[in-house]
Amino acid sequence: MLLADFVIATSIPFIIQILVWNFIFRHDESITIHGFSQKDIIFYYAIALTMGRLNNGYDVIRQISEHLDAGTIEPMITKPLSVPVRHFYIFIGESLVYLIPVGASLAACAYYSNENVWSYGLVALTLIMIVLSQAVTYLLSLTIGLVAFWLTKPDFLCSLHIILLAVLGGTWLPASLWPTWLEPVMAGNPFYLQIGAIADFSVHPNYGFAFHIVALQLLWTSALMLGSCVFWRLGIRRLANTGG
């Protein structure tokens, strides 16, 4: 499974992006597109694709929706750890291994960057953003998974999540390359805060942008925590009223 994630799900999309952007920059490698040089765009996708493996809530949605669909959620409720807390520990444990490629891509970006602006403060803010991105990822995935309380066939939730993460998260295009009227949506949604925000920051590091991202992550973490709590309470009440 890990080999498939590293080699197929990460390396092949990265190679495709390199080929596409090398073709775009083939006539003049010195030009920039919305502030991205050829090297910037390559590092952006290296970080975005590895962050996409770290912050992937697919299994959270799948497991919760499967428990609800199969009717196995009720025995789990009686256990000491609540279902959301148990799945949070599983999510963190499964994500830890992906810190290695994320750290490698971030270190390479900082080392080869033309802007010698990296400081201990920016490194600390990067770590904070990664931790908060994990919180946003889990809470968003939990909220999506809990929608299965009101569905008879929750299979499409995982497919919907994959599409939204690819489009809104920034693995297709950086937020600044979308049409101007779409930029506020692309740069402020929770999927972007999972992936694209850290990739954007790593390529163009500065304190103002870092504080902006951290503030948005804290805002979305609070909103999603409230939303998941409401969904969980309403779902459990519905489960009790309908007899499982």
Q: What is the pLDDT of residues 190-236, one digit of tens each?
A: 999 999 999 999 998 989 999 999 999 999 999 999 999 998 888 88
Provide the β-strand partners of residue 36. Answer: 33
Q: Is residue 16 part of a domain?
A: yes
pLDDT of residue 201: 93
Rounded CA separation 180/42 (Å): 22
Residue 56: phi and psi, rounded to 5, are -120, 110
Residue 240 pLDDT > 70, yes or no?
Answer: no
Mean pLDDT of the chain, nearest integer:
85
Q: Is residue 23 part of a domain?
A: yes
Domain that holds residue 138: 2-27+40-242
Prediction pTM value? 0.90
Token representation of residue 52: 């996409």
Q: Is residue 32 part of a domain?
A: no
Domain count across the chain = 1
Mean pLDDT in residue range 109-119 = 76
Q: Is residue 34 part of a domain?
A: no
Q: Is residue 212 part of a domain?
A: yes
pLDDT of residue 152: 66
Rounded CA separation 77/235 (Å): 12
- Tell me the per-residue pLDDT of 13-49, one tens digit each, with 9 for 90 and over: 888 888 988 888 887 767 888 888 888 899 999 999 9
Residue 6 pLDDT > 90, yes or no?
Answer: no
The beta strand positions in the chain, using DSSP E, are none
